[in-house]
């Protein structure tokens, strides 16, 4: 949930790239679009730099969705909808990675926002085959 003391941070073109929230000791924590802390507490300008450096491109990467009784599923992020208000719910929608094929069916999976830890970046060399 986005707290009222989180400050939205936008690129020069106005696109939201995350938030900066207060931390103890007059420091600030950058929070990415998935609702995850992007670094340890920092000075304000450093927190801005982290979000600007991360940008939106990381969302286009291959991700892995951990499952309790099966190998991780290779997915792509299709939608990130942060909560529109502090008390509202947001969502993250992923779909199975189709390796760019246009004729392969995919599965859409809706997750809560902030994104759960079971949605994680793909590790180098992991899941090189289609897992749909």
Reported as a single tens digit per residue, the pLDDT across 6-53 is 999 999 999 999 999 999 999 999 999 999 999 999 999 999 999 999
pLDDT at 107: 86
106/73: higher pLDDT: 73
Query: Contact 50/39 with Cβ under 8 angstroms?
Result: yes
Question: End-to-end distance of the chain based on CA atoms, in angstroms?
Answer: 31
pTM: predicted TM-score of the whole model, two decimal places: 0.85
Task: Using pLDDT thresholds of 50, 70 and 90, give the confidence band for residue 131.
Answer: very low
3-state secondary structure of 123: coil
How are beta strands 119-121 and 62-67 bridged, if at all? antiparallel
Max CA separation in the chain (angstroms): 53
Q: ∠97-100-104 over CA atoms, to 5°?
A: 70
* Burial class of residue 60, CB neighbours in 10 A (0-12, 13-18, 19+): exposed
Give the strand pairing for 62-67 and 16-23: unpaired
């Amino acid at each position: 949930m986005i707290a009222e003391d989180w400050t939205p941070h936008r690129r020069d073109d106005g696109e939201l790239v995350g938030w900066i929230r207060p931390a103890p000791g007059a420091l600030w924590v950058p929070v990415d679009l998935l609702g995850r802390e992007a670094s340890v507490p920092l000075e304000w300008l450093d927190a801005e730099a982290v979000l600007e450096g991360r940008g939106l491109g990381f969302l286009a990467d291959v991700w892995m969705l951990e499952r309790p009784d099966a190998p991780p599923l290779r997915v792509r992020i299709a939608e990130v909808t942060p909560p529109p208000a502090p008390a509202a719910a947001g969502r993250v929608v992923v779909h199975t990675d189709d390796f760019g094929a246009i004729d392969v069916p995919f599965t859409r999976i809706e997750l809560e926002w902030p994104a759960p830890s079971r949605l994680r970046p793909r590790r180098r060399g992991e899941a090189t085959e289609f897992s749909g």
